[in-house]
Amino acid sequence: MKIAVIGGTGLIGSQVVKILNLDGHEALPHAPSTGLDLFSGRGLAEALDGADVVVNLTNSPTFDDAAPAFFQTTMDNLLAAADAAHVGHAVILSIVGADQVPGLVYYRAKVLQEDILKAGPVPYSIVRATQFFEFIDAVLSWSADESTVRLPATLVQPMAAADVARAVADVSAGPPLRGTRNVAGPEVFPLDELGKVTLATHGDRRTVITDNNAGMFAAAPRDALIAKNGAVIAETTYLEWLARQPAG
């Protein structure tokens, strides 16, 4: 199949392109650097010409109040162009539990992205993944200073980006789900505990302080981000993944 991967140069997109091509499909990455801007629509019609499937793995430049407008405009552009090009399947990547965290504008924006896709003219699939292992260092940095990292005890069930990419590639190569597939990591951690494991592995001597008002995930009810029954559970554990990361 010919598969257009928009955001195909990003963390997940680049791996999805690789997997699909290894599986025998013709997957092409698209992004501003290849001449496609999903926000303005530049290059979109050309990218979707002859495509069987479009996978949207873009991300908004910021997680703030600009995020809803980014996902609204990019999805409107995507669906109009996919419909005009008779693309038979549109896939997006969203977040497990996004609808249960209305206090976070970025999560509201992801729910908006899902709702636009569901209401649109193109047969669709939504993959919802939990937080990526690759994202954990950034989460820690948001509420850290020189000696402490403040984190809430919110439960998380993170997973490796490689496992997310595999799940997105599998769904993209299959028939439209007209629904959602949830994928999650094999273990549940309170975020403060995950912070301690991460700092210890990095040899970072800062102290984790449990603070249920600290950082972005303080807005999430304690178990909102955990996969519910029916989710696909990925194999890679956090410790296995950490052990594979280059030192420093």
Question: In the bound complex, what is the minimum distance in angstroms from residue 179's beta carbon to ligand NAP?
Answer: 17
Nearer to ligand NAP by Cβ, of 32 and 176: the residue is: 32
Q: DSSP code of 144?
A: B
Nearer to ligand NAP by Cβ, of 28 and 38: the residue is: 38
Count of residues that bind ligand NAP according to CB under 6 A: 24
Half-sphere exposure of 177 (CA within 13 A, CB side): 18
Residue of 3, 4, 12, 47 that binds ligand NAP (CB under 6 A) = 12
Cβ atoms of 185 and 238 within 8 Å: the answer is yes
Residues in CB range of 6: below 8 A, 6 or more apart: 13, 30, 31, 36, 38, 47, 54, 55, 56, 57, 58, 78
Q: DSSP code of 162?
A: H
Kindly indicate which of the ranges 10-18, 182-190, 206-214, 235-243 contains the residues binding ligand NAP, using the contact rule CB under 6 A.
Answer: 10-18
Residues in region 190-209 near ligand NAP by CB under 6 A: none
Closest residue to ligand NAP, judged by C-beta, is 10
Q: Does 4 bind ligand NAP (CB under 6 A)?
A: no
Nearer to ligand NAP by Cβ, of 168 and 214: the residue is: 168
What is the H or E stretch that residue 2 is in? strand 2-6
- 3 state DSSP class of 36: coil
For residue 144 the two structure tokens come to 């850290």
Cβ atoms of 56 and 78 within 8 Å: the answer is yes
Q: Does 123 bind ligand NAP (CB under 6 A)?
A: no
What is the H or E stretch that residue 77 is in? helix 67-84
- 3 state DSSP class of 16: helix
Nearer to ligand NAP by Cβ, of 7 and 68: the residue is: 7
Residues in region 69-108 near ligand NAP by CB under 6 A: 93, 95
Residues in CB range of 143: below 8 A, 6 or more apart: 149, 150, 151, 211, 214, 215
Residue of 18, 21, 32, 186 that binds ligand NAP (CB under 6 A) = 32
Q: Does 59 bind ligand NAP (CB under 6 A)?
A: yes
Q: Does 11 bind ligand NAP (CB under 6 A)?
A: yes
Q: Give the footprint of ligand NAP on this chain (CB under 6 A).
A: 6-7, 9-13, 31-33, 36-39, 57-59, 93, 95, 110, 129, 131-132, 135
